[in-house]
């Protein structure tokens, strides 16, 4: 058996005996072991403990890593991205700097429709190669598990093409990947005045093929004023659920869209964004099994208000953090920046952000049995930091790359 021994770890962070989705105050419970060792066998976490308890004779160690002065923590679990896209959109970024709104940009054919036009013109190979590069980039930044959405196709061929690219990424990458069908991202131009026509297309033309080819794990709808109403969201999610696709919904990003309520009523796995939350929406989320996923780099890029993380925690919600990596609202998939901004702008504590971006992120992709914590039997998805003085230094020293190396499924990448 190929075994790797990591010794002299300054602090082994995110150690858990049992899996638990963390709510409210539990989010600050981050267990760690100082001066620790960790053994990895066949890509899995085999044992760990304090250096003084290391029994060297018991294992056939093939590789050793000295982690003196370094922190070791579980890889980031990024549960919301749009990582497959054809082109960046920095020309809209300039338009926004000059004062145009997202709605105005969308009205002149920009936004999601701009991405859809470019995606439909790109080949499957081009999309795959571009997405592969982004995946490599985020894995070097510590992401070991990731959810990727469709939603820039908005046509039968385009949506299937995106989902087939995601399937190929799943097959070829060491990262754990989940696929979400987001055909309901916006109405394509030809259906601008025929919403029912596009909903029929999603339900009767896209979903049966997606089911047949097993192209998706979840269904998503952009539940937002000017996009999909609560009623439309419910119809589309229920159609997805009839094919065993659990909803993960874009909710309350630009308005109090009602997306949280409909998500909770459908037992969605997560409702994501939550920049605008009423008391009623917070209470509904707190009393549900649905995870609230916050995407602070998107609020940062849009200069909108941040989700009320402290209120959500006070009300006992289960929250996760994700990057929303996409060309329109978060052109970065850097989870280190996500956790830093969560502390700086949403006043979350370092322990809370690490839990929300690891174990709770794993739950938001139903990957908690495989990854998201330092637990015996889980995949060795591990971040080795550079030599840093404390755990708080990670979000504090934002913008500095503090990652020394990353191991995914036991392999250094």
Query: Choosing among Fe ion, ligand NIG, none, which partner's interface includes residue 253 (Cβ < 5 to 8 Å by kind)?
Result: ligand NIG
Q: Tell me whether residue 396 is exposed, middle or buried, using C-beta atoms within 10 angstroms of its C-beta: 0 to 12, 13 to 18, 19 or more.
A: middle
How big is the chain by its Cα radius of gyration, in Å?
21
Handedness of CA 344, 347, 350, 356 (dihedral sign): negative
Tokens 């690891």 found at: 358
Name the residue nearer to Fe ion (CB basis): 324 or 368: 324
Q: Which stretch binds Fe ion (CB under 5 A): 43-51, 63-71, 206-214, 319-327?
A: 319-327
Residue 152: which residues within 8 A CB-CB, separation 6 or more? 82, 84, 85, 86, 112, 115, 116, 118, 119, 158, 162, 185
Site for ligand NIG contains 115 (CB under 6 A): yes
- The three-state secondary structure class of 266 is coil
Instruction: Give dist(CA 240, CA 247) in Å, integer.
Output: 8
Site for ligand NIG contains 297 (CB under 6 A): no
Please name every residue paired with 292 in a beta bridge, in sequence order, or none if there are none. 271, 319
Q: Answer whether 318's CB lies under 8 Å from 268's CB.
A: no
Q: Which stretch binds ligand NIG (CB under 6 A): 67-75, 139-147, 280-288, 327-335?
A: 327-335
Name the residue nearer to ligand NIG (CB basis): 152 or 363: 152
- Phi then psi for residue 393, to 5 deg, are -60, -30
* Other Cβ atoms closer than 10 A to 346: 21
Name the residue nearer to Fe ion (CB basis): 37 or 76: 76
* Other Cβ atoms closer than 10 A to 387: 12
Selected binder of ligand NIG within 250, 271, 365, 379 (CB under 6 A)? 250
Query: How many CA atoms lie less than 13 Å away from 243 in the CB half-sphere?
Result: 25
Site for Fe ion contains 381 (CB under 5 A): no
Site for ligand NIG contains 328 (CB under 6 A): yes
Name the residue nearer to ligand NIG (CB basis): 61 or 87: 87
Dig out the tokens for 243 from the structure.
């094919």
Name the residue nearer to ligand NIG (CB basis): 302 or 393: 302
Helices (H) and strands (E) in the chain, counts: 16, 16
Q: How far is the CB of 96 from ligand NIG (least distance, A)?
A: 11
Selected binder of ligand NIG within 326, 358, 385, 409 (CB under 6 A)? 326
Instruction: Give dist(CA 126, CA 115) in Å, integer.
Output: 14
Name the residue nearer to Fe ion (CB basis): 78 or 324: 324
Query: Choosing among Fe ion, ligand NIG, none, which partner's interface includes residue 328 (Cβ < 5 to 8 Å by kind)?
Result: ligand NIG
Q: Which stretch binds ligand NIG (CB under 6 A): 110-118, 213-221, 304-312, 394-402?
A: 110-118
Query: Choosing among ligand NIG, Fe ion, none, which partner's interface includes residue 110 (Cβ < 5 to 8 Å by kind)?
Result: none
Site for Fe ion in 323-342 (CB under 5 A): 324
Site for ligand NIG contains 16 (CB under 6 A): no
Name the residue nearer to ligand NIG (CB basis): 254 or 357: 254
> Closest CB to Fe ion belongs to which residue?
324
Selected binder of ligand NIG within 284, 329, 334, 355 (CB under 6 A)? 329
Total chain residues near ligand NIG (CB under 6 A): 12
Site for Fe ion contains 220 (CB under 5 A): no
Strand (E) or helix (H) holding 234 = helix 230-241
Q: Tell me whether residue 350 is exposed, middle or buried, using C-beta atoms within 10 angstroms of its C-beta: 0 to 12, 13 to 18, 19 or more.
A: buried
Tokens 């979000």 found at: 395
Site for ligand NIG contains 301 (CB under 6 A): no
Instruction: Give the residues lining the site for ligand NIG (CB under 6 A).
Output: 111-112, 115, 222, 250, 253, 298, 324, 326-329
């Amino acid at each position: 058996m190929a075994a790797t021994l990591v010794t002299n770890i300054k602090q082994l962070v995110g150690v858990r005996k049992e899996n638990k989705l963390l709510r409210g105050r539990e989010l600050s419970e981050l267990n760690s072991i100082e001066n620790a060792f960790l053994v990895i066998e066949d890509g899995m976490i085999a044992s760990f403990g304090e250096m003084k308890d290391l029994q060297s004779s018991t294992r056939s160690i093939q590789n050793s890593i000295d982690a003196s002065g370094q922190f070791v923590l579980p890889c980031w679990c990024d549960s919301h991205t749009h990582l497959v896209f054809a082109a960046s959109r920095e020309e809209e970024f300039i338009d926004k700097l000059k004062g145009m709104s997202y709605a105005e940009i969308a009205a002149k054919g920009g936004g999601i429709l701009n991405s859809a036009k470019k995606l439909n013109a790109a080949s499957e190979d081009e999309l795959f190669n571009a997405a592969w590069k982004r995946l490599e980039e985020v894995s070097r930044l510590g992401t070991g598990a990731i959810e990727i959405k469709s939603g820039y196709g908005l046509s039968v061929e385009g949506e299937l093409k995106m989902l087939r690219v995601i399937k190929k990424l799943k097959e070829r990458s060491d990262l754990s990947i989940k696929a979400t069908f987001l055909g309901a991202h916006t109405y394509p131009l030809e259906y601008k005045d025929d919403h029912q026509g596009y909903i029929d297309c999603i339900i009767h033309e896209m979903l049966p093929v997606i089911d047949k080819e097993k192209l998706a794990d979840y269904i998503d709808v952009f539940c937002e004023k000017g996009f999909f109403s609560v009623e439309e969201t419910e119809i589309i999610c229920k159609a997805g659920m009839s094919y065993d696709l659990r909803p993960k919904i874009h909710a309350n990003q630009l308005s109090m869209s009602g997306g949280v309520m409909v998500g909770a009523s459908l037992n969605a796995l997560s409702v994501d964004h939550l920049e605008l939350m009423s008391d009623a929406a917070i209470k509904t989320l707190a009393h549900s099994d649905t995870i609230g996923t916050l995407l602070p780099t998107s609020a940062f890029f849009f200069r909108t208000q941040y989700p009320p993380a402290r209120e959500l925690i006070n009300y006992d919600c289960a929250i996760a953090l994700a990057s929303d990596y996409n060309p329109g609202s978060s052109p970065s998939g850097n989870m280190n920046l996500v956790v830093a901004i969560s502390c700086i702008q949403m006043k979350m504590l370092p322990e809370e952000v690490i839990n929300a971006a690891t174990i709770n992120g794993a739950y938001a992709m139903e990957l908690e049995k495989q990854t998201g914590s330092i637990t015996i039997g889980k995949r060795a998805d591990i971040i080795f930091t550079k030599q840093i003085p404390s755990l708080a230094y990670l979000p504090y020293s934002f913008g500095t790359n503090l990652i020394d190396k990353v191991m995914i499924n036991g392999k250094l990448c």
